[in-house]
Amino acid sequence: MIRKALLLTMLLLSRGLLAQEMLSLDEAIKIALEKNYGVLISKNEKAIAKAQNNLGNAGMSPTISLNASLSTANLDSYQEFNTGAIQDRKGATNFGTGASINADWTVFDGLRMFAIKKRLNIAEGMSEIALRQQMENTIYEVILAYYDMVRSNELIRAAQQNLLLYEERRKIAQLRLEIGSDSKVDVMLSQSDENRARAGIIQLELELLNARVRLNTLLSRSVDTDFKAADTIVVNYNPALDELKKSSSSGNTALLWSRQNETLFSESIREARSNNLPFVTVSGAYMFNSTQSQAGFVFLNRQNGLNAGITARWMIFNGNRNNRLVKERNLLYLNQRYITDQVQLAVDGQVYVNYQAFLLNKKIVDMEFQNLRDSREVLNISLERYRIGKSNLLETIETQKNLEDAQVRYINALYSTKLAEAQLLRVNGSLVK
């Protein structure tokens, strides 16, 4: 009878879930990478870094400017010349026009432009790493929220199955009361346990709602979007510690970021040293000027033509400020190398701890699965003994509590194992394909 009721409940649950949208973990990750606001912001920041990485920002390109001018004046002019001549004009008009195109190009700046271009390349690369970090964090959060939903669903299914057992136990207690073999206390205890189980299901449904809202938020869609997640938590990841160490050393984004910072500080040293070398700038222009005046000796003055020049500058001494700057940046570079070594140790520690946690959780899953099977069998026997009067209510309550605890421990062990798996994938840089 109990088995039939359990099967009926599972059938009703499956029919209700079929009406919902089925969302797999892969689909959830795909949606998050396309729509999550954190990922979109990081993509825009990467595009900005790419746009800034050009020859012009590095100072390698010439600058070209176009200038034009137009002027007019109406003046009273009185002039006495050394020849004795006098020129007196009222309302003399002056009119001038001018235009020029100018080009300046720093052809040598102590190799500073090359250091800046390398720095821009590094900045673009770091924006790529930042985007990957954001994607990893988003995927990790999606995995946590998704499997939190799966866990809550499994706990609800287990609680609903247990509720059927509570109902069956209450019916048995009621029957035993009617035939005079039990007291009303057993019925009241059974009813109380049944009510507690119903309240527990409501609490689990609230936890499921919170997990669904959290996942919908990560997917940047309406928080009330209803969908169905996977039915069970499956663990089929079998990593090797040596492979994890190798992949984390080359794929961990924190390490990649720190190494890029090393290169950035190295280029800043080259940039500082460039101030000790000469700067050479080439310039050229084409100019046109025309001036017309009704007063003075020259009524029309027109000039046009090319000019060019070269300028060299070399800072010989500036109070050793630049040498101190080079020394300071060398120390910053050395500190960054220490930071990289520190990050490497931290990553190695994370890999080792999470790997051991993953293995231990898998062992716990195996043990709890066996405990769950044993507890279920013991409860079936105890419930049948209670039905025929060979055991009391307290024994049945204890065996049912053991089953509930075993169910919760088993489901939570699966969830913890999946989280340890996700953490391992994030540490070794495997979450983003």
Q: For every one of its 433 residues, what pLDDT tens digit does the chain have, with 9 covering 90 and above? A: 444 444 444 444 444 444 568 899 999 999 999 999 999 999 999 999 999 999 888 888 888 999 988 888 776 677 776 776 777 777 777 788 889 899 988 888 888 888 889 999 999 999 999 999 999 999 999 999 999 999 999 999 988 888 887 787 778 777 766 676 666 777 777 788 788 889 989 999 999 999 999 999 999 999 999 999 988 888 888 888 888 988 898 899 999 999 999 999 998 888 888 888 888 889 888 888 877 776 665 667 788 888 888 988 888 887 788 889 899 999 999 999 999 999 999 999 999 999 999 999 999 999 999 998 988 888 788 777 767 767 666 777 778 888 888 999 999 999 999 999 999 999 988 888 7
Closest CA to 68 of 359, 331, 289, 239: 289
Q: What was the pLDDT predicted at 425?
A: 92
Closest CA to 422 of 237, 247, 249: 237
Q: Which two tokens stand for residue 425?
A: 């994938």
Q: What was the pLDDT predicted at 256?
A: 94
pLDDT for 327-362, tens place per residue? 999 999 999 999 999 999 999 999 999 999 999 999
Q: What was the pLDDT predicted at 7?
A: 47
Q: Which two tokens stand for residue 1?
A: 């009878």
CA distance 381 to 157: 22
46 contacts 164 by C-beta, under 8 angstroms: no
365 contacts 234 by C-beta, under 8 angstroms: no
| Cβ count near 407 (within 10 Å) | 22
Q: What was the pLDDT predicted at 296?
A: 60
Q: What was the pLDDT predicted at 3?
A: 45
Q: What was the pLDDT predicted at 187?
A: 75
Q: What was the pLDDT predicted at 180?
A: 67
